[in-house]
Structure 1
Amino acid sequence: MTDLFQEPEDATPLEPHEREGLLQTWITHRRDLNEAEQENIVEGAAWARRRASLKRMLSEDFMQTLHKRMFGDVWERAGTFRTTERNIGVEAYRIGVELASLLSDIRYWIEHETFPPDEIAIRFHHRMVAVHPFPNGNGRHARLTADLLIERLGGERFSWGGGSLADVGELRARYVTALRAADNHDIAPLLEFART
């Protein structure tokens, strides 16, 4: 039997105390966890598409509520900021400040058309991943928020490579490589990946 919480090498590992709070007792394998989370994410995305105006979406409250809607049927801690340090992301005590700064930047970029809409949404995604506000689900949350933002800006959802990024493999490796390029101020690979 494999460890339920075994993550791909480049994923953010959960701390032992964060493994507690799993709400579904039928989950015994990683594939069960992935299935439960995916069902919950679909429900969260539908909720967001019905409710999120651009102004509301660009708030800390919405970011937390969306995470709760995406993972709240699976994890007790859904929608709460992490309190521990990670292999990625800002220090836990800086999450609120960094998220507020990001949301302010996005509002400014939209108002002043600083970048084309696709680039605003992808920069939003990249910075959400960089802040890494939640114990788990940050990449999926950041991809959904980028999709919601580009839709509100009149564009089409991103394809994110056209497959599942939950699985270890070539597609996930390309995504992580594109994120690392963006970390080094080269957003082009992430823009390309998001639209392939």
Structure 2
Amino acid sequence: MIDPLFDADDDANTPLTPAEREGLIPTYITTRAELNAAEQENIAEADEWAFTRRRGSILDVDVLMTLHRRMLRRVWKWAGKPRQTERNIGVPAHQIEVALHQLLDDVRYWVEHRTFGPDEIALRFHHRLVAIHPFPNGNGRHARLAADALAVELRQRRFTWGGASLVEAAETRKAYVRALQAADGHDMAPLLAFGRR
């Protein structure tokens, strides 16, 4: 079975540019499976950091960027840095910083004024963060962990995200993408259901 390192395995992954591919740190990685394993090991450490950090809300740009850096810092040189290239998803690269600040301002308003329930605030945050697509890769994983951190800040449980690994369970990943697409059309119900399934 062929396991190409950089070929996207479905349309839900964002391909890296050649320059971004050169940012791969471990020299032993030659397959997608090895890359996924290395990233997951790093993400597990970031997960622990996200829920034991003493200061800073996830609703801070620096904390968001640090979270991504901690998730992928041993795998990618560009971890925690905004993408510099255009994608078929996300805001133009030069608008990332402004879009992140607008998102965080909106979410702080929602929290302060209880515009939505806590789960919906965290999932709207997740959806918009994915839509901004601030990084070359790892945006969905970053946005899920950030939404979990916000849910905990709002005194809620972490989300289940479909109850299976989105990397390993193709049907769960498809359901996740469909829920995001529904949210693109302003229907949050599928994402709210998926988040707690």
The TM-score by the shorter chain falls in which range? over 0.9
The 3 A distance-change label for structure 1 pair 52 and 184 is farther
1:146-165 pair list within 5 angstroms: 146-165=147-166
Structure 1, unaligned stretches of length 5 or more? Answer: none
User: Which segment is superposed worse, 8-17 or 148-157?
Assistant: 8-17
TM-score of the aligned structures, taking structure 2 as reference length: 0.96
- How far apart, in 1, do the equivalents of 2:169 and 2:69 lie? 25
Alpha-carbon distance, 1:168 to partner = 6.3
In the other structure, the counterpart of 1:64 is 65
C-alpha contact 2:3 2:33 (8 A) present in aligned 1: no
C-alpha contact 2:89 2:131 (8 A) present in aligned 1: yes
Runs of 4+ in 1 over 4 A off after TM superposition: none
Alpha-carbon distance, 1:58 to partner = 1.0
In the other structure, the counterpart of 2:184 is 183
In the other structure, the counterpart of 1:51 is 53
In the other structure, the counterpart of 2:20 is 18
- How far apart, in 2, do the equivalents of 1:82 and 1:138 lie? 11
- How far apart, in 2, do the equivalents of 1:189 and 1:166 lie? 20
Q: Which amino acid aligns with 1:10?
A: A
- How far apart, in 2, do the equivalents of 1:14 and 1:187 lie? 29
1:42-191 pair list within 5 angstroms: 42-51=44-53, 53=55, 55-167=56-168, 169-191=170-192
The 3 A distance-change label for structure 1 pair 112 and 52 is farther
Alpha-carbon distance, 1:120 to partner = 0.2
Alpha-carbon distance, 1:50 to partner = 1.1
Q: CA RMSD in A?
A: 1.2
- How far apart, in 1, do the equivalents of 2:18 and 2:70 lie? 23
**SS in structure 1 at match of 2:26:** coil
User: Which segment is superposed worse, 117-126 or 18-27?
Assistant: 18-27
**SS in structure 2 at match of 1:67:** helix
The 3 A distance-change label for structure 1 pair 14 and 52 is farther
TM-score of the aligned structures, taking structure 1 as reference length: 0.96
Q: What is the aligned-residue identity percentage?
A: 58
Deviations 1:132-190 (A, max 9, x none): 00000000000000000001111101000011111362111111010000000001100
Number of matched pairs:
195
- How far apart, in 2, do the equivalents of 1:179 and 1:16 lie? 28
Alpha-carbon distance, 1:9 to partner = 2.0
Q: Which amino acid aligns with 2:179?
A: A
Deviations 1:53-76 (A, max 9, x none): 5x5321111111110000001101
**SS in structure 1 at match of 2:57:** helix
